[in-house]
A and B are shown apart, each in its own frame.
Chain A
């Protein structure tokens, strides 16, 4: 398995500001992903974080709004830019570890935009 640490775990943010979420994994991973889970809903993939290159975004998500970095195999950041109340969600980092198929999730970063 993998231990995935996300920071911050929770935050209350003012609209118009930006917040960067960090994800650190304790083992070698092949792939890292960022998901969003809006209140009471299922998970939606934002993007695949690629090491050393631009992330691959899903339909409906753009780099200007959700810039992502992945400088090495075990660390990634997601920034939520120019936040509005509609961005209030749980943002989840997930990884596929080197030794298997399973995809694990962190505990999430719970953002409330006021």
Chain B
């Protein structure tokens, strides 16, 4: 079936630097994409989303970029903080509001 994958399983970043998490998706019919953050012992927390008719969306310290030509999604975190340490999942929505999740990237912030 269709799947969403990630390029890097673990990302180590120095505190204060910018982080970039990448995600490849394969379902060209997906119309909506979401990034979630999951801290240890907790459920996934919504970070930011983007519709397929957009190529960029910004939030507080986070930016999501969508490149439909190559089916690529990225999450940029500015000035990464220790509290950003978590596993990050991308997800795509196709028919029926069902989400397909990527494998996850662990972000480790070094002080």
Where the two chains meet, the residues of A that have a C-beta atom closer than 8 Å to any C-beta of B are: 1, 4, 30-31, 33, 41-45, 48, 56, 58-59, 90, 92, 94, 96, 101-108
Q: B96–A48 contact, CB under 8 A? A: yes
Q: Looking at the assembled complex, report how far the CB atom of B30 sits from the nearest CB atom of chain A, in whole angstroms.
A: 13
Closest 6 CB pairs of A and B: A107-B43, A105-B43, A105-B44, A108-B43, A43-B101, A42-B101
Q: Give the residue of A42, A94, A103, A104 whose beta carbon is less than 8 angstroms from that of B103.
A: A42
Q: B36–A105 contact, CB under 8 A? A: yes
Q: B99–A45 contact, CB under 8 A? A: yes
Interface size class of chain B, counting residues whose CB lies under 8 Å from the partner chain: 20 to 34
Where the two chains meet, the residues of B that have a C-beta atom closer than 8 Å to any C-beta of A are: 1, 32, 34, 36, 42-46, 49, 51, 89, 91, 93, 96-104
Inter-chain contact count A-B, CB under 8 Å? Answer: 58
The CA of A111 and the CA of B1, in the complex, are separated in Å by 28
Q: Give the residue of B44, B46, B103 whose beta carbon is less than 8 angstroms from that of A92.
A: B44
Q: B49–A101 contact, CB under 8 A? A: yes
Q: Is the interface of B mostly helix, strand, loop or mixed?
A: strand
The CA of A105 and the CA of B43, in the complex, are separated in Å by 6
The CA of A94 and the CA of B44, in the complex, are separated in Å by 10
Q: Looking at the assembled complex, report how far the CB atom of B55 sits from the nearest CB atom of chain A, in whole angstroms.
A: 17
B99's nearest neighbour on chain A, judged by CB, is A103
Q: Give the residue of B1, B34, B97 whose beta carbon is less than 8 angstroms from that of A31.
A: B97
Query: Contacts of A94 on B, CB cut-off 8 Å?
Result: 99
